[in-house]
């Protein structure tokens, strides 16, 4: 017989001896195995108090990035929407008006930017496609919601806090990923 792995064992069809057929000895062997597990280290994470560290390449919910001066990086070029295999991203572009230079980095910006979290498969292609470093996948989950509407994340939901006006929140949002990168 050709086997795929060297682990396969042919089934033993020998007739059981009397000692085997009363199962007591075999049960005892099994009980020793379970007893060994009884004293083993438990693998459980006590979830709300204790969270499991993510791997550095974890892809969570998207964040729209800002630059150091707190201006939105997104120029609504639509490359992320094109790259998205699940077609979860939609956007509407708008022109930057005079006086809005402190809000948007370039002349064009996304007036509306939506990601449908029910469609998103967290593949990270949007992050790869973005030429402006404007979108990246963070290390948080998309929280559960009670209706479908709440799963369509708009710009306000996705935008990172302003580093100028809310430095603490910005650091927190940015934090985990940067820390993990440094660790590596």
Q: Which is nearer to other proteins, 4 or 29 (CB)?
A: 29
Q: Which two tokens stand for residue 161?
A: 């806090």
Q: Which is nearer to other proteins, 48 or 99 (CB)?
A: 48
Supply the minimum distance, in Å, between the C-beta of residue 146 and other proteins. Answer: 24
CA 145 to chain centre: 17
User: Which range touches other proteins (CB under 8 A), out of 2-10, 19-27, 53-61, 82-90?
Assistant: 19-27
Closest to 137 in 3D by CA, of 64, 54, 56, 60 = 60
Among the residue ranges 17-25, 58-66, 136-144, 170-178, the one whose residues contact other proteins (CB under 8 A): 17-25
27 touches other proteins (CB under 8 A):
yes
- Binds other proteins by CB under 8 A, chosen from 1, 4, 11, 24: 24
Q: Spell out the alpha helix ranges (H) of the chain.
A: 18-21, 24-38, 79-83, 125-129, 155-158, 167-183
Stretch that binds other proteins, among 32-40, 50-58, 111-119, 173-181 (CB under 8 A): 32-40
Query: What angle is formed at CA 97 by the lines to CA 94 and CA 103, rounded to 5 degrees?
Result: 85
- Decide: is 14 part of the binding site for other proteins (CB under 8 A): no
Q: In sequence order, what DSSP letters do the residues of 144-178 get, joined into one string? A: P-SSGGGGEE-HHHHBPPPTTT-HHHHHHHHHHHH
Q: Which element (helix H / strand E) includes 137?
A: strand 135-137
By CB under 8 A, tell whether 11 contacts other proteins: no
Residues near other proteins, by CB under 8 A: 18, 21-24, 27, 30-31, 33-35, 37-38, 40-44, 46
């Amino acid at each position: 017989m050709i086997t795929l792995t060297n682990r396969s064992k042919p089934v033993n069809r020998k007739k059981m001896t009397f000692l085997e057929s009363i199962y007591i000895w075999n049960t005892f062997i099994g009980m020793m195995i379970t007893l060994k597990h009884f004293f083993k280290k438990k693998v459980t994470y006590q979830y709300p108090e204790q969270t499991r560290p993510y791997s550095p390449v974890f892809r969570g919910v998207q964040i729209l990035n800002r630059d150091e001066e707190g201006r939105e990086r997104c120029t609504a070029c639509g490359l992320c929407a094109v790259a998205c295999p699940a077609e979860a991203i939609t956007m509407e572009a708008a022109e930057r008006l005079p006086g809005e230079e402190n809000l948007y980095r370039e002349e064009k910006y996304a007036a509306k930017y939506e990601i449908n979290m029910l469609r998103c498969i967290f593949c990270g292609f949007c992050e790869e496609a973005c030429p402006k470093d404007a979108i990246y996948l963070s290390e948080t989950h998309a929280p559960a919601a009670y209706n479908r509407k709440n799963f369509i994340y708009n710009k306000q939901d996705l935008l990172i806090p302003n580093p100028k006006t809310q430095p603490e929140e910005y650091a927190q949002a940015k934090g985990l990923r940067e820390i993990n990168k440094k660790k590596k």
